[in-house]
Structure 1
Amino acid sequence: MNARRRVGIVATQASWDRYVGEAALKRLSALAEIVWLEFPGSSRTLSPPPADPESMARLAAFVPDLDALIVSHGAPRITAGIMAAAPRLAMIGDTHGDRFAARVDVAAAKRACIAVVDTTNGSSDPVAEWALALILLGLRNAGAHFRRLIEGELLWPDRDVFLKDPGYLNGELTGKTVGLVAVGNIGRRLLELLAPFHVKPLAFDPYAPAALAGVYDLAFTSLDTLMATADVVVCLAPLTGETKGLIGKAQIEAMRPGTVFVNVSRGAVVDSSALVARLQRQDIIAGIDVFDPEPVPVGSVLRSLPNVFLSPHIAGVTAACEPRFFDLMVDEVERVFAGHQPRFPLIPRDP
């Protein structure tokens, strides 16, 4: 039966070259015949190309004998009409959907009893690692030390000055209270990385299963309580209509002096003006990988503040993680073809 199955991949040439690894392709070949349909397009956008008649006709002609369809950058939107043209289709997978369902009509798939999967979480590991790095850098006030060193300053000629440094006073992560704003795939991986430090984890996530509290020994709390009590606040919330501006002026002002604030999610989740105003008082430290607007404007005060460590939205960008998107998708095809439920069903972030 498996030999008669067909898996179609719809993507740009660039996506195929960067994300489709040989080992995963070999595993998929053992499950089914693989066919590929190339479309032009950007390798960095989540939005599908315009649904022009020619593209939709090419796609409709490609899908009739498919058992699974994997889409990525460049693929047109998989509509109810496309699904109707593929009576054998059991699964649609988007390797770069970022849980927004830009390329798949999830409601139509549900009506057709087609599983829909999103493996964008392939980049969760490096994002969690970079979040941990920014936490450690912030606690040690490393950004300020680095700035002073490269400017040629001879640090600590008077050791009494060092005794007042935040990195000396609050520099250890062990035992700290760490607040996570959202505990999705990245948050759960970060909790694993934090475990050896014996932190006291707090989390705000109204959509997280309550069972996670027992699994990770964390306390769910309100956003206001988290912001006011955590030694370290890590923003991991996806950007949706509901989360835009979630961390506003009141929440930013609630952070106690000495708090380390880290954002590796999306800049617009945070009120940028309120954050900059608080950072200018230099009583908190920030590690910022994302900002609104992005990139950080050349003239922004953030670029010169000693209590801010900046990185240019690199948390999830590593060569090692790119093949993982497709590798996880092959895992999902294996599960669905075996009659199991997928591990990463696509539940859109916004209606």
Structure 2
Amino acid sequence: MSTETREVWLPYAADEIAGLPEDLTYRFWDGEDEYPADPADCAFYVVPYLKGPETAVRPLAAMRSLRVVQTLSAGVDNVAPALGELRAGVRLCNAKGVHEASTAELALALTLASLRDIPGFVRGQDREEWRSGFYPSLADRSVLIIGYGSIGSAIEDRLAAFECARVVRVARSARDTARGAVHALSDLPSLLPDADVVILSTPLTDGTRGLFGADLFSRMKSGALLVNVARGPVVDTKALLAEVGSGRLTAALDVTDPEPLPAGHPLWHTPGVLVSPHVGGSTSAFEPRAKRLLLTQLTRFAGGEALQNVVMTTE
């Protein structure tokens, strides 16, 4: 590796990550207007976390020495469309291993909160109302996980304690796992009618954008719950509003389309909809895991070793 290709842009100060290779040059940049150095000299770019897609891609066109783009998100949809303008051989890596625990926790929290009507209890407490009665349980329910990668698997780990009737797994293509079969996306029309809870944890790709529209919603059983911890555009918002607005389905959404959800949007006030502000990965678990990943990746990069979590290489 030549001298001009050893510069790393990090959203952390280098001294915050113990053990970083000393033969790399580190520049701190977390999305500020001013760049810390000439982007043309950056070889390894760590994308600022939660700063928005415009910030994420802003320096890319000028990064003529770039060899690696490392996101700190599980998905890469915020930067992948901009990589076509880069030279061949740039590797794009995601943050697999960073968000699984936090996102799976939130998927379960949203599921339980929606089924047990925790938002209703909070409103009742504000009004000093004692809302007793019977509420749906997760026990004995059928759960369908759509997007059975590392996050989907982590969600199933946490479902194990809740005595679900069954857990059905769906991914882009069918395969077998130690836990059982994983169905292909093409099987969804036949699987949805039996699911009480549908959890979306799939990446946003050309194949999943708008995946859940009027057709798939119509195949869900009445009273079913949709939980989205994937990406907002996986769901057709207009079709979702038609179903939850009628009272036939309920939804718990950590992600929305549009996002952030603007004031006055009907999703804020539609009964049966619980909204959290895209915080699946934004917990105390994020930073230590993110720093461990960066230490591993930069150590491998400095040593000329194969990187982890490579999802694509530019051509």
The alignment yields a C-alpha RMSD, in angstroms, of 3.6
Matched letter for residue 18 of structure 2: K
Note the C-alpha offset of 1:325.
2.2
Partner Cα distance (1:257, 1:62) in 2: 53
Greater mean alpha carbon deviation, residues 264-273 or residues 141-150: 141-150
- 1:8 aligns with 7
Give 1 or 2 for the bigger CA radius of gyration.
1
Secondary structure, counterpart of 1:250 in structure 2: helix
Which of residues 62, 77, 98 is equivalent to 2:60?
Answer: 77
Residues 1:266 and 1:191: Cα distance change in structure 2 (over 3 Å): same
Contact 2:96/2:309 (CA < 8 Å) preserved in 1? no
Offset of 1:335 from its aligned partner? 4.8
Question: Structure 1 residue 136 and structure 2 residue 136: aligned?
Answer: no
Structure 1 position 223, deviation (Å):
2.0
Is 1:99 aligned to 2:85, yes or no? no
Give me the TM-score of the superposition, normalised by structure 2.
Answer: 0.78
* Contact 1:176-1:231 within 8 A present in 2 as well: yes
Whichever residue aligns with residue 202 of structure 1, its letter is V
For 2:143, what is the secondary structure of its paired residue?
A: strand
Question: Is 1:122 equivalent to 2:98 in the alignment?
Answer: yes
Q: CA deviation at 1:118?
A: 2.7
CA distance, structure 2, for counterparts of residue 27 and residue 291 of structure 1: 38
Match of 1:174 in 2: 139
Q: Superposed, which structure 2 residues align to 1:1-351 within 5 Å?
A: 8-11=7-10, 15-17=11-13, 22=16, 25-29=17-21, 32-38=22-28, 41-42=31-32, 58-61=38-41, 69-73=44-48, 76-77=59-60, 81-82=64-65, 92-96=68-72, 98-100=75-77, 101-102=79-80, 108=87, 110=89, 116-119=92-95, 122-156=98-132, 162=133, 165=134, 167=135, 170-171=136-137, 173-199=138-164, 200-207=166-173, 210=175, 213-221=176-184, 222-335=187-300, 341-347=306-312
Distance in 2, Cα, partners of 1:62 & 1:339: 17
1:287 positional shift:
1.2
Opposite residue 116 of structure 2, the aligned amino acid is R
Following the alignment from structure 1 to structure 2, what is the Cα–Cα distance between the partners of residues 345 and 227? 32
Distance in 1 (CA, whole Å) between partners of 2:126 and 2:101 is 31
Distance 1:329 1:260, change over 3 A: same
Q: 1:93 to 1:286 in 2, by over 3 A?
A: same
Q: Using a 3 Å threshold, how does the CA distance of structure 1 residues 93 and 323 change in structure 2: closer, same or farther? A: farther
Measure the CA separation in 1 of the matches of 2:108 and 2:151. 11
Counterpart in 2 of 1:87?
none
Whether the aligned pair in 2 keeps the contact of 1:79 and 1:105 (CA below 8 Å) is no
Is the Cα–Cα contact under 8 Å of residues 95 and 120 in structure 1 kept in the other structure?
A: no
Shift of 1:267: 1.6
Flag the 1:339–1:9 CA change in 2: closer, same or farther, 3 A: closer
For residue 307 of structure 2, give the secondary structure of its aligned residue in structure 1.
coil
Normalization by structure 1: what TM-score? Answer: 0.71
| Cα gap change, 1:147 to 1:227, in 2 (>3 Å) | farther
Report the AA paired with residue 342 of structure 1. Answer: L
Task: Show CA shifts across 1:320-339 (max 9, x none).
Answer: 30342232122234456677
Deviation at residue 228 of structure 1 after TM alignment: 1.8
Q: Which structure has more helix as a fraction of its residues?
A: 1
Give the whole-Å Cα distance in 2 for the aligned partners of 1:251 and 1:241: 17
Q: Supply the distance in 1 between the matched residues of 2:306 and 2:192 (Cα, whole angstroms).
A: 37
Identity %: 27
Structure 1: gaps spanning 5 or more residues? 44-48, 50-54, 64-68, 84-90, 157-161
- 1:139 aligned partner, one-letter code: L
Give the length in aligned residue pairs.
297
1:107 positional shift: 8.4
- How far apart, CA to CA, are the structure 2 residues paired with 1:305 and 1:320? 32
SS of residue matched to 1:82: coil
